Amino acid sequence: MKRIFLFLFSLSCLIMMAQGQNKSQPENVVITSTENETWVRSTENGELLVNVSPNDLRKFKSGGVVRYSDFGAKGDGKTDDLEAIVATHAVANQQNLKVKGDEGFTYYIGGKSRTAIVRTDTDFGTAAFVIDDTNVQSRNSQIFLVSSSLQPFKPEGITSLKRNQEKINITLPGSCLVTVTNSNVKRYIRFGANQNNGASQTDIFMVNKEGKVDMNAPIIWDFDQITDITALPIDETILTITGGRFTTIANNAESKYTYYSRGLAIRRSNVLVTGLEHRITGEGDHGAPYGGFITVGDCSYVKVRNSLLTGHKMYNTIGSAGVKVSMGTYDISLNRALNVSFVNCKQLNDIHDSRYWGIMGSNFCKNLLLDGCTFSRFDAHMGVANATIRNSTLGHQGINAIGSGTFTVENSTINGRSLVNLRSDYGSTWQGELIIRNCVLVPGGGRPTSASLISGSYSGQHNFGYTCYMPERITIENLKIDDSKHPEEYNGPAIFGNFNSKMTDASFVELFPYVKTKEVILKNVTTTSGKPLRVSDNQFMFKDVKVTAK
């Protein structure tokens, strides 16, 4: 009778756990509870088999937590612990348990192509993780993927959308992120050494269950046609990732655009990352670039707080135009994400060292925030709608952005070549307003340079896939320009750089006209050199800009 009971108990555990695995495990992980010991094994076809003994299962559920050592992690810095880490999170997800790192352990993670799916609170604590990228099976195999158990779906009946539309004709089970694409329209047709044919028109916005659009992150394009649409349900609870001392041993692959992405990917809304550290070692005279250690995409309400990150060494390659280019390489990458903030975060290496690329890149985002951060740069490639930088210091690459809405910079020190650089490869466009308050500009980080506040370039001859704008209104209040180290022939800082040196009179024809700034409002702008602020070296181009000094 006792044997029959044990058999039925084990069988019920197997059925229960297998059902849970089928619902929640995108990885090729099979969980059972049929033997008296806990083990993790890998099969020849790539399956990860995890057995949890009934006694261990009761212990885990009673304590509400599992550790990597519970599934065989050695933590000696030499043995590959990735499969134990993946197994730990798989069981935690299934049983709704927290995960904790083992204090004093150093987990070595080799090149196997496996990803730990994180769906429960995880405290890495003071444990160390060494990620070895020198010999990987897949350079795109993330180590940790924070994901939702809520499944995306395809809404029906939506065939078009309008810019700033406030409501769509849809009923949803709850608040969702909606991503839409029109593959027949190309935007962001890049110009320059990394030229391309553009990206399909895409947008991401938040909708409540009645179909009302969150107008803090509005629809930014007209969609006359929709070729793809997906609704991503938003998790209501906050998932917290705490601690962790991560070190990447950098790849030594050929220097070309084969990006590595082996870190922490966040694809779930409402996530807090706090106290994380990421360092890099082993960078040589060549290597492939990185797509980001922390990558955030297709989600909203993500905060990274009190964390330390590292800029990657910059390598060169030949770009699409056939000329030598410096490859962008990132520790932070944000794509199709809303309401993402970095608070009290710092870069571990020198933010003024130009051997290291800017730490951050973003595309298709809305409502980005840096608060109390020390980074080498802020960057928005293919558009950001609304951004704020405050209480921060930015290094040698400064602020680079294109997009729309309101861009606010306050209580910050900027060490870039200009206060704000409007990226010329995407049309130097900002359709909206720029507000600067209580800031210090140190042009070129203190190197001799002719300072300008707003820089960019626009030839008027390239079709970027949209009309290009300069900020309609620029407000600058309480700005100190530290231009004490300037070249000999220096006439003082300019509000605008020379965006088009060929546009010197009315005979120049823009095939794609640039919408210029209407108004600049200045209040208490001072220079260390004592030289007055000028409009621009290109007086003709900016002759119609109204400048008001208060």
Phi and psi at residue 522, to the nearest 5°: -115, 135
Q: Are residue 29 and residue 121 in the same domain, yes or no?
A: yes
Find the domain containing 296 and state its range. 238-245+264-401
- pTM, rounded to two decimals: 0.94
Question: Is 253 domain-assigned?
Answer: no
Residues 203 and 312 in one domain: no
Query: What's the pLDDT at 220?
Result: 97
- Taking a C-beta distance cutoff of 8 angstroms, is the pair 333, 296 a contact? yes
List strand residue ranges (DSSP E) for 214-290, in order.
228-233, 239-249, 264-266, 271-274, 277-281
| pLDDT one-digit tens code per residue, 181-195 | 999 999 999 999 999
Residues 9 and 140 in one domain: yes
pLDDT confidence of residue 321: 87
pLDDT in tens, 72-97: 999 999 999 999 999 999 999 999 99
pLDDT in tens, 222-237: 999 999 999 999 999 9
Shared domain check, 426 and 309: no
Q: Is residue 459 part of a domain?
A: yes
**Residue 256 resides in a domain:** no
> What pLDDT shows up at residue 6?
38
User: How many angstroms from the chain centroid is the CA of residue 366?
Assistant: 11
Q: Which of 146, 162, 177 is the last residue of a domain?
A: 146
- Is the residue at 476 inside a domain? yes
Q: Which stretches in the chain have pLDDT values below 70?
A: 1-27
**DSSP per residue, 222-239:** -BS--SEEEEEEPPSSPE
Q: From CA 127, how far away is CA 110, in angstroms rounded?
A: 17
Helix axes 2-24, 54-63, angle to 10 degrees: 60
Last-in-domain residue among 375, 401, 427: 401
Are 163 and 176 in a shared domain? yes
Shared domain for 141 and 156, answered yes or no, is no
Q: What is the pLDDT of residue 75?
A: 98
Please check whether residues 450 and 513 belong to one and the same domain.
yes
